[in-house]
Amino acid sequence: MPIAQTFRVDPRSQDMSIKQEGSPKWVHINVSYKMFNTASATVNYDIAGNPRGMLILGAFGRNRTDWTGGTISNVTLSAGTTGSPAAWVAALTVFSGSPKTLPGSTIVPGTFVTTSASAAFRIQLVATTDTPDHLTQGSCDFYFLVSFVPLFA
């Protein structure tokens, strides 16, 4: 009979460095309504400067607070690349039902953010019937399982 073991997580460890050819690591990015304060219905939050060889192995979102404000009737969030903003997490509503999980796409064996130069990946917000500058609340955590592989010229 297996012996139960409790996993221990030390929240004091904030080391975000990831080694090439090392183990994958979950990266956490929190986005809030304040980061999308613009008068455009579609707003992009780009995480830029990722080095070549960055491999996304998995992703998902966890919406903590419903996104509401003004006369907005719906808000969706997605995550992916700058060329395909819903590649890793499809555009799903975050307007109601919090907390809820935004499931990620199946990524087998993984997708490179870039193989030739530094690149960005994107979290995209789309608001309906009003613009995000009228939002008064909303918060979502995105989690990306990343690894780096050496790419030689």
The stretch 14-25 carries a mean pLDDT of 63
Instruction: Find the CATH number of the domain harbouring 92.
Output: 2.60.120
Is residue 91 a part of any domain in this protein? yes
- With bands split at pLDDT 50, 70 and 90, how would you rate the model's confidence at 36? very high
- With bands split at pLDDT 50, 70 and 90, how would you rate the model's confidence at 48? confident
Over the stretch 115-126, which tens digit does the pLDDT of each residue have? Answer: 666 567 899 999
Is residue 83 a part of any domain in this protein? yes
Task: State the total domains in the chain.
Answer: 1
**Short-list 137, 129, 144, 141, CA closest to 36:** 137
Over the stretch 59-113, which tens digit does the pLDDT of each residue have? Answer: 999 999 999 999 999 999 999 988 889 989 999 999 999 899 999 987 767 777 7
- By residue count, the chain amounts to 153
Is residue 3 a part of any domain in this protein? no
Is residue 1 a part of any domain in this protein? no
Is residue 4 a part of any domain in this protein? no
CB contact burial 39-73 (16+ within 10 A = b; e otherwise): eeeebebebeebebbbbbbbbbbbbeebbbbeebe
Residue 124's domain comprises: 25-148
The stretch 38-54 carries a mean pLDDT of 86
Is residue 110 a part of any domain in this protein? yes
Supply the mean pLDDT for the chain. Answer: 83
